[in-house]
């Protein structure tokens, strides 16, 4: 696991803002970012394309081990094809959460995720970054927000993209996905014992980013020196 490469983990439920915060923290520090949720979305998307059922553990694990993925300028490429839009839909998120409940799939993605810890540093976002993938990370954040607020953020995002959805449906979908992520037996969504829990319900992105950077400066003195 990339000896001494500094790692910040940001876990939390869907819509808590972890992706946005992780990207901004990584940008400020000049570090790499790992969007682990995209991997589960890609596995489920590839499975659908290949006609594989989302509960076929063996076939899904095979897909996960052979995943040819590239993150480039905010785009996600699967076998060289840009699938960013396709994997960002609500149904792709639900499919991902089903595939993610399968231990063999998680195991197949583990090494690749760890291999992303390369200099100068990594900001990893997901559900089990601090608990399973990078248990030794010196900075662990668990970002939460009320289901209502998370649904509202998602609603605004979709509206901006011209996609019409009902807020009530979104709250129900977000709650259902959270339940599955929190209650699964393997790598359930929960804060690592040493994580700082931040409730972002009433915080701006900038305020959350500032809190994460403050933790980072404390844990990695080399960062503070550079300022
Ligand atoms: O973060 P995102 O919404 O893209 O994740 C999609 C789904 O992938 C989540 O609902 C969760 O089930 C799964 N996931 C996971 N572990 C991660 C990241 C995502 O199980 N580290």
Q: Which two tokens stand for residue 119?
A: 């200099």
What's the confidence (pLDDT) of residue 222?
Answer: 85
Q: Which domain holds residue 174?
A: 7-216
227 within a domain of the structure (yes/no): no
Q: What is the pTM of this model?
A: 0.93
Give the sign of the dihedral formed by CA 71, CA 77, CA 79, CA 83: positive
C-alpha 206 – ligand 1 centre gap (Å): 23
150 ligand 1 Cβ < 6 A: no
Question: Which atom of ligand 1 is found nearest the CA of 18?
Answer: 1
78 within a domain of the structure (yes/no): yes
Q: Please write the tens of the pLDDT for every residue from 156-184.
A: 988 888 888 899 999 999 999 899 999 99
187 within a domain of the structure (yes/no): yes
2 within a domain of the structure (yes/no): no
221 within a domain of the structure (yes/no): no
32 within a domain of the structure (yes/no): yes
222 within a domain of the structure (yes/no): no
Q: Which residues of the chain have a pLDDT value below 50?
A: 1-2
CB-count burial class (<10 Å; 0-12, 13-18, 19+) for 23: middle
Q: In what order do the strands lie in the sheet with 122-126?
A: 32-35, 122-126, 7-11, 139-144, 196-199
What's the confidence (pLDDT) of residue 224?
Answer: 73
What's the confidence (pLDDT) of residue 131?
Answer: 96
225 within a domain of the structure (yes/no): no
144 ligand 1 Cβ < 6 A: no
Give the domain CATH number at 140: 3.40.50.300
What's the confidence (pLDDT) of residue 226?
Answer: 56
Q: How many domains does the chain have?
A: 1
């Amino acid at each position: 696991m990339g000896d001494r490469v500094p790692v910040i983990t940001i876990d939390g439920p869907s819509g808590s803002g972890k992706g946005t915060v992780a990207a901004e923290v990584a940008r400020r520090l000049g570090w790499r970012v790992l969007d682990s949720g995209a991997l589960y979305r890609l596995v489920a998307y590839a499975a659908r394309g290949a006609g594989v059922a989302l509960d076929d553990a063996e076939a899904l694990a095979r897909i996960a081990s052979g995943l040819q993925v590239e993150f480039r300028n905010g785009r996600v490429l699967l076998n060289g094809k840009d699938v960013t839009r396709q994997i960002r839909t609500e149904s792709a998120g639900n499919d991902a959460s089903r595939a993610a409940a399968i231990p063999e799939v998680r195991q197949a993605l583990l090494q690749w995720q760890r291999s992303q810890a390369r200099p100068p540093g990594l900001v990893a976002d997901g559900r089990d970054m601090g608990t399973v993938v990078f248990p030794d990370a010196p900075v662990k954040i668990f970002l939460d927000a009320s289901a209502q607020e998370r649904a509202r953020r998602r609603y605004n995002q979709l509206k901006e993209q011209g996609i019409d959805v009902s807020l009530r449906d979104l709250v129900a979908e977000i709650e259902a996905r959270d339940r599955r992520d929190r209650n699964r037996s393997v790598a359930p969504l929960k804060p690592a014992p040493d994580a700082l829990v931040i409730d972002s319900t009433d915080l701006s992105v900038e305020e959350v980013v500032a809190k994460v950077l403050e933790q980072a400066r404390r844990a990695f003195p080399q960062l503070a020196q550079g300022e």
